[in-house]
Structure 1
Amino acid sequence: MDSRLRGVLCASILLALAPHAFPAAAQPTPVEGRSQAFAIPAQPLSSALILYGRQSGLQVAAPSELLRGRQSTDLQGSYPPAVALDTLLANSGCAGGADPPAW
């Protein structure tokens, strides 16, 4: 695969709110919400994103072939989910973004 295309596709890591989360209008969603605790050691990016999803309560989707061979950074502490994802992806060549829920 062309390296430019790989970079574009890797930037397409998407987040969606968990289907069971129906926040009230006055409450922040997890993506824009308050800090929460994360404890994800540096590891293969695919494994780190699974842990991120479990700890944030968000669903994460990314093409596995684009994550292969990539490493996450260490993520320890309290962060808003969007900041935590950016930190986790730092230096991996990937970027994340949030999609609104599709219900």
Structure 2
Amino acid sequence: MPIFQKQAQFIELLKNSRILVVTAETGSGKTTQLPQYLAERSDLFPKMIVCTQPRVMAAISVARRVSQELDGDSIGGSVGYQVGVGKGNAVPGSKIMFMTDA
């Protein structure tokens, strides 16, 4: 994925900034790869990584995909989702959570 070429730069920028705006083409890995890079560097980013999605199905499907890519697990372990009040499967040990933004 195109975003892979910028992985080190992305991590370095986030070490020195609280906010980072990332723009790239559709399918470049912004949603699926960047959260994984942060999760893999838990020494620098120990808190849960939260990513918003505009729709319920988007949050669930991207959580499924990232979970498979990250550790071959099904969602509900290191990767979870939250879609509305009480509708989700993130657990206390989850590293990444995808959630709806409304």
Structure with higher helix content: 2
Q: TM-score, normalised by structure 1?
A: 0.30
